[in-house]
Structure 1
Amino acid sequence: MKEPIIQIKKMKKIYELGGETVMALQEISLDIRKGDFISIIGPSGSGKSTFMNMIGCLDRPDSGEYLLDGEEVGKMKSSQLAVIRNEKIGFIFQNFNLLVKLTAIENVELPLIYRGMKADERRKAALEALQKVGLVDRANHLPTQLSGGQQQRVAIARALAGSPPILLADEPTGALDSKTSKEILKIIHSLNKQGHTIILITHDLEVAEQASRVVRIQDGQLYEDGGVIFASGENGIKEH
């Protein structure tokens, strides 16, 4: 059995909203193993976005542990979290988040600039990433010259360029039609087969069921195969 790349233990997150205390995450625990393709599904207000921010090192838990590739990241400083995000996690967003004045290849190169990679190395890595999503022939096109599906493929290439072990996809098909959505999911499946750990956040059950593991989040608790994933380890995660 492969080692966990993510270990979450009794993670809790509380917000104060309008004078009320909201328990966004209720001491949840979850192991995600290297090479997993897992979907996290839940409606608005379920804690899905909060959980995504925790996994993506965009926020910190109030208590509990978060180990990413064996490192405790839950208590890291913002500067340390920025490095983790850049090296360990590739982000794919619903609305692509491409810079409109940059070409496809320039968008893909962006995270590599922050790594301090040399220009020729950046260009080579970006071209290889665009090749993986079948978009090398559009490398010098601006986002406005690309279809929605092509823009999302550029976004996937950008996530891939630094070869992160984890791809975190937040509603990656939410802005696409059904035909294009299937094409994007096919690419994501291919990347999983190449060894990337995929974490897909969605509200769409049909999309969620593309994953080999489906975890539901509701009222800040996690459920897999109908059972609560308890922080204590009871009803432990069932492997598919």
Structure 2
Amino acid sequence: MTTKQSAPPADLIRIHHLNKVYRMGGETLNALDNVSLTVREGDFVAIVGPSGSGKSTLMNVIGCLDTASSGEYWLDGEEISRLRENKLAEIRNRKIGFIFQGFNLLTKLTAIENVELPLVYRGVPAKQRRQQAIEALGKVGLAERIHHRPVELSGGQQQRVAIARALAGNPPILLADEPTGALDTKTGIEVMGFIRELNSLGHTIVLITHDPDISRQAKRIVRIQDGRLHEEEARAE
């Protein structure tokens, strides 16, 4: 009797020969130089590089915050390289959960109201979005703090609210930009523990960082230097 094999993970991100060119005065800057990258469902990829390497430009393209000058970008089966801004905004809201270094929480809103915000923009009914926000805050261990405002939370708790906000709409990709950059070492370790746990639960994560110690916690490390990518050997589980 033959054993039925499970299907291989789907490609959530496929980038082919991507270039991003800036022209300043008489000079041309190749911020991304012939970049190709594939991220599969369940991956945890760290993109690491120093300031000026092109990693922020690549993050903006992956996050649909900017478009490339040439090349192809497929996100969850959809070719988005040439889409207009209004369509890109819609895709950002549905397909990508952002985790920012500075948390980007609204100070006048409670934790649960902050987590609900992307769902409000998506048009999710009030009862449903409240339930999704409660579940997301529960995942990051803040079920007892849902009515606290950011000023009443520690830095680590604020970042966990930001992670819950990214999770609430169940997007295919979590995009984390220097998620521990505003935290002390101990709190940063705790937050990275949550991010690794989310990956173990099946969430696909792309992490942008300048810190080699942070990048080593991912399953794959992709280095960027002068706009070019170089992937390291995948680490053992």
The TM-score, its normalising length taken from structure 2, stands at: 0.94
Measured against aligned partners, the alpha-carbon deviations of 1:134-186 in whole angstroms (never above 9, x if no partner) come to 00111111101110000000000000000011000000000111111111111
Q: Are 2:71 and 1:64 aligned?
A: yes
**Structure-2 separation of matches of 1:156 and 1:2:** 24
Q: Secondary structure at the match of 2:141?
A: coil
User: Pick from 127, 138, 142: which aligns with 1:135?
Assistant: 142
Superposed CA RMSD: 1.2
Residue 37 of structure 1 corresponds to 44
Cα displacement (A) at 1:18: 4.3
Measured against aligned partners, the alpha-carbon deviations of 1:40-66 in whole angstroms (never above 9, x if no partner) come to 000000000000000000011110000
Q: Secondary structure at the match of 1:38?
A: strand
**Structure-2 separation of matches of 1:128 and 1:197:** 19
Q: Is the 8 A contact 2:96 2:171 kept in 1?
A: yes
User: Pick from 134, 159, 170: which aligns with 1:163?
Assistant: 170
**Structure-2 separation of matches of 1:168 and 1:219:** 22
Q: Are 2:23 and 1:16 aligned?
A: yes
Residue 144 of structure 1 corresponds to 151
List runs of 5+ in structure 1 lacking aligned partners: 227-237
**Structure-1 separation of matches of 2:232 and 2:117:** 39
Q: What letter corresponds to residue 214 of structure 2 in structure 1?
A: V
User: Pick from 219, 226, 237: which aligns with 1:219?
Assistant: 226
Residue 234 of structure 1 corresponds to none
Residue 194 of structure 1 corresponds to 201
List runs of 5+ in structure 2 lacking aligned partners: 1-7
Measured against aligned partners, the alpha-carbon deviations of 1:101-125 in whole angstroms (never above 9, x if no partner) come to 1011000000000011111111100
Q: Is the 8 A contact 2:76 2:172 kept in 1?
A: no
The TM-score, its normalising length taken from structure 1, stands at: 0.93
Residue 230 of structure 1 corresponds to none
**Structure-2 separation of matches of 1:155 and 1:86:** 15
**Structure-1 separation of matches of 2:10 and 2:113:** 35
User: Pick from 121, 125, 131: which aligns with 1:124?
Assistant: 131
Q: What letter corresponds to residue 222 of structure 1 in structure 2?
A: L
User: Pick from 59, 62, 75: which aligns with 1:52?
Assistant: 59
**Structure-2 separation of matches of 1:158 and 1:168:** 12
Q: Is the 8 A contact 2:32 2:58 kept in 1?
A: yes
Q: Are 2:96 and 1:89 aligned?
A: yes
**Structure-2 separation of matches of 1:18 and 1:181:** 41
Q: Secondary structure at the match of 1:152?
A: helix
Q: Is the 8 A contact 2:96 2:175 kept in 1?
A: yes
Give aligned-pair identity as a percent: 63
Q: What letter corresponds to residue 58 of structure 2 in structure 1?
A: F
Cα displacement (A) at 1:77: 1.1
Measured against aligned partners, the alpha-carbon deviations of 1:188-234 in whole angstroms (never above 9, x if no partner) come to 111111111100000000000000100000000001128xxxxxxxx
Q: Secondary structure at the match of 1:95?
A: coil
Residue 106 of structure 1 corresponds to 113
Q: What letter corresponds to residue 47 of structure 1 in structure 2?
A: G
Cα displacement (A) at 1:126: 0.3
Cα displacement (A) at 1:16: 1.6
Q: Secondary structure at the match of 1:114?
A: helix
**Structure-1 separation of matches of 2:138 and 2:25:** 49
**Structure-1 separation of matches of 2:232 and 2:108:** 45
**Structure-1 separation of matches of 2:143 and 2:38:** 36
Q: How many pairs does the alignment contain?
A: 229
User: Pick from 10, 23, 32: which aligns with 1:25?
Assistant: 32
